[in-house]
Structure 1
Amino acid sequence: MNTPVFRGEMNVALLEEEEDVNQLTEYFSYEHFYVIYCKFWELDTDHDLYIDQRDLARHNDQAISHKMIERIFSGTVTKDKRVQREGRMSYADFVWFLISEEDKKTAISIEYWFRCLDLDGDGILSMYELEYFYQEQCQKLETMAIEPLPFEDCLCQMLDLVKPTVPGKITLQDLKRCRLAHVFFDTFFNIEKYLEHEQKDPFSVVRDGEPESQDLSDWEKYAAEEYDILVAEETANEQYNDGYDSAVERGVSGELVPRTEKRHFFDIPNPHCSLDLEQYEYEDDFE
């Protein structure tokens, strides 16, 4: 019963010893927060700390299908009731989305996407449900001048990949047992990652499903890569602004010119933003 508290105390103690907080990824990581917030801020064009379906559809160059975006906003995998009532997603629900999207190998992310695909909520992914999502994938491939695999052939591949206990009926436990659930999900709603899997050596895909001995998860690798990109962009922007401001300060005649206040490229909004955590409704995660 006291294990979570004990582990929490251990991590707090480790914080006192570890100079770089980003090395403790179980609970504490500024880099992870920075990446998630910047991704959210980029989509939240009006900066009211909410995004709608159109905003979320722009994520990763519209790689995720519109049908899946609609399912996410139907409220099936969100805690905030405003998602379904007002069609707006808060930052907290975006955290769940982004981590589940970038690492589909964890139990939580598998539950997240299974709920989205399970249109009737009966706990089984029927052939009708899979075809419903696959149709949009085919349309996207055709616009890219790529001939899509017929659904029947795709279905055979996915059944061979998952190997469901009951033939023709894919359950949540089947996908959790299958070590290639990420390939399965991407096939039906993420065109970019689907093409990446298709272009890979089949043996490398199988190796991806083997028990991992690596230290970093897919999410940690993604966050580290994106953080490096964001920092590089910010540094380049600051260098550009510094060079421009230095020239403006002196002016053409060498006369000093007042320097306007410069805002940080990834400046986080002040605490007066509209995010109200007290009103956020928490429930048991994926009961």
Structure 2
Amino acid sequence: MIFLSIKRTLSDMVPRKFSSKVKGKMGYEDFVYFILSEEDKSLEPGLEYWFKCIDLDGNGVLTPNELQFFYEEQLHRMECMTQETVLFEDILCQIVDMIRPEKEDYISLRDMKSCKLSGHVFNILFNLNKFIAFETRDPFLIRQERENPTLTEWDRFAHREYIRLSMEEDIEDASNGSGDIWDESFEAPF
């Protein structure tokens, strides 16, 4: 099964046309733009990108039907991972509470841009790991966000990746030998 979000991203209706000359393929520039949009959905380019992905009819507003269309895929992922599912009606109430749109019948791009939590809406619909992380928020992450409110999601992502890669490198260095003569075998190589 091709995920709807990926299928939508690779379609001709994406908000940003690919620079790759091969139809349905991302080039390096396309991939970088996609990753930036994926990792920080709260910045304007990411907001606009994901908003246009969800706006199936291109009318400039997100309706409950469009939100449900993408949430159905998340439900399928939750079931496959034996996660406890959340009813769409509950998700819709949570989204409306987060965004506080001018009209409850739909959400406009302007509504999304005026809300700091708008990136979480896209994670609810597209990224199961981030959705679960948001639902079961770690108090450490909440404190970190409060201590550094100027950091973007991208800054936090880059910091986490830097730490992860540094730790992997430290482990690799330690496992490649310390150069200590006591670690060497006493048997002759012949």
Please, what TM-score do these two structures have when normalized by structure 2?
Answer: 0.79
CA distance in 2, matches of 1:230, 1:198: 26
Partner of 2:183: none
Deviation of the 1:187 alpha carbon: 0.9
Partner of 2:168: 233
| Distance verdict in 2 for CA 1:237–1:146, change over 3 Å | closer
| Distance verdict in 2 for CA 1:165–1:201, change over 3 Å | farther
| Cα RMSD, aligned residues only | 3.2
Q: How many residues are matched?
A: 181
Query: Aligned partner of 2:149: which letter?
Result: Q
CA distance in 1, matches of 2:124, 2:170: 37
Partner of 2:65: 128
Larger radius of gyration: 1
Partner of 1:183: 120
**Equivalent runs, 1:66-145 vs 2, <5 Å:** 66-75=3-12, 76-82=14-20, 85-145=22-82
CA distance in 1, matches of 2:67, 2:130: 17
Query: Aligned partner of 1:167: which letter?
Result: E
Which residue among 224, 239, 251 is the counterpart of 2:159? 224
Deviation of the 1:87 alpha carbon: 1.9
Partner of 2:149: 214
Deviation of the 1:78 alpha carbon: 3.4
Query: Aligned partner of 2:15: which letter?
Result: V
CA distance in 1, matches of 2:84, 2:189: 63
SS in 2 for 1:86: coil
Query: Aligned partner of 1:98: which letter?
Result: I
CA distance in 2, matches of 1:156, 1:120: 22
Partner of 1:156: 93
Deviation of the 1:69 alpha carbon: 1.1
CA distance in 2, matches of 1:238, 1:78: 42
Deviation string 1:190-223 (CA, Å, 9 cap, x unpaired) is 1111111111389x97x96x8x853432211211
Query: Aligned partner of 2:58: which letter?
Result: G
Identity percentage over the alignment? 37
Deviation string 1:241-275 (CA, Å, 9 cap, x unpaired) is 5679xxxxxxx6468xxxxxxxxxxxxxxxxxxxx
Deviation string 1:129-152 (CA, Å, 9 cap, x unpaired) is 111101011111122333322212
**Equivalent runs, 1:262-281 vs 2, <5 Å:** none
| Distance verdict in 2 for CA 1:241–1:181, change over 3 Å | same
Deviation string 1:161-208 (CA, Å, 9 cap, x unpaired) is 211112211111100011110221111111111111111389x97x96
CA distance in 1, matches of 2:31, 2:87: 33
| Distance verdict in 2 for CA 1:81–1:95, change over 3 Å | closer
Gaps of 5+ in 1: 1-53, 55-64, 245-251, 256-287
CA distance in 1, matches of 2:151, 2:100: 27
| Distance verdict in 2 for CA 1:194–1:79, change over 3 Å | same
| Aligned partners of 1:159 and 1:168 also within 8 Å | no
